């Protein structure tokens, strides 16, 4: 019975949390996407405007980890058929709060950083730098391609007790539009080993 009571409490908490979020807007938009030549190929940089409503802030403070995914695609136009998808990559960033240390944590793979405030963590999350998305030999020089990038909140990685309610709640369906631009590769080497643009959290 204690087990059932605990499960009921968890479900009730999830229902209360999600139903109280209605009517508060949150959004993501993409700015300044760019592919830069590097020693190993091409790296992606982009800035994101991430506006979380107060309820999402509250969810993080209550110990819920938010999973932000950056998707990148590169396609090539073909006159005789559908566009060819050359590359499709995704990178996940986990945003969480640790009550014992009173620190917000931003993680990507084995990399992580801690911050004293949510604003500080969100500021770093909004700056994507040095993500190697195109390795040498993936694209051909002087051939036109179409690049696209977006950021979204991935609900599928959240606890099962929250997924059903989150999927039905507009405030949790958080995703930017695809930012698309034309891309024509040049050389895939950096003369003299020129340094890459710095980034606090590198997606590699």
Q: Which of 141, 144, 132 is nearest to 186 (CA)?
A: 141
pLDDT at 7 > cutoff 80: no
pLDDT tens-digit map of 52-105: 887 788 889 989 999 999 999 999 998 778 889 999 999 999 999 999 999 999
Q: E strands along the chain, which residues? A: 27-38, 41-51, 66-76, 84-98, 103-108, 111-115, 127-135, 145-153, 179-183
Cβ neighbours of 166 (radius 10 Å) = 23
Q: Which of 155 and 30 is assigned the larger pLDDT?
A: 30
pLDDT-based confidence at residue 114 (cuts at 50, 70, 90): very high
Any idea what DSSP says for residue 1?
-
pLDDT tens-digit map of 120-150: 999 999 999 999 999 999 999 889 999 999 9
Give the rounded percent of residues in the chain with a pLDDT score beyond 90: 56
Q: What per-residue confidence (pLDDT) applies to 199? A: 37
pLDDT, mean of residues 7-20: 42
pTM listed for this prediction: 0.77
Q: What per-residue confidence (pLDDT) applies to 69? A: 98
Q: What per-residue confidence (pLDDT) applies to 153? A: 93
Q: Which of 12, 19, 22, 35 is nearest to 138 (CA)?
A: 35
CB 54 within 8 A of CB 17: no
pLDDT, mean of residues 94-118: 94
pLDDT, mean of residues 182-203: 52
The alpha carbon dihedral of 140, 152, 69, 125 has a sign of positive
CB 128 within 8 A of CB 46: yes
Range from 88-92, 107-111, 177-181 carrying the lowest mean pLDDT: 107-111
Most confident range, picked from 20-24, 142-146, 151-155, 177-181: 177-181
């Amino acid at each position: 019975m204690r087990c059932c009571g605990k499960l009921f409490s968890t479900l009730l908490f999830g229902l209360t949390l999600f139903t109280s979020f209605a009517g508060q807007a949150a959004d993501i938009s993409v700015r300044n996407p760019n592919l830069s030549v590097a020693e190993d190929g091409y790296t992606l940089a982009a800035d994101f405007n991430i506006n979380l409503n107060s309820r999402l802030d509250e969810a993080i403070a209550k110990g819920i980890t938010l999973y932000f995914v950056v998707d990148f695609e590169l396609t090539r136009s073909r006159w005789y058929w559908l566009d060819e998808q050359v590359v499709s990559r995704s990178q996940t960033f986990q945003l969480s709060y640790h009550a014992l240390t009173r620190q917000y944590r931003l993680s990507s793979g084995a990399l992580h950083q801690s911050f004293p405030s949510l604003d500080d963590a969100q500021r770093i999350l909004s700056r994507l730098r040095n993500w190697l998305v195109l390795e040498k030999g993936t694209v051909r020089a002087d051939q036109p391609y179409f690049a696209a990038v977006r950021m979204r909140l991935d609900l599928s990685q959240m606890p099962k007790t929250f997924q059903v309610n989150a999927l039905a709640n507009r405030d949790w369906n958080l995703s930017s539009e695809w930012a698309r631009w034309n891309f024509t590769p040049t050389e895939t080497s950096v003369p003299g080993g020129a340094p890459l643009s710095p980034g606090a959290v590198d997606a590699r």
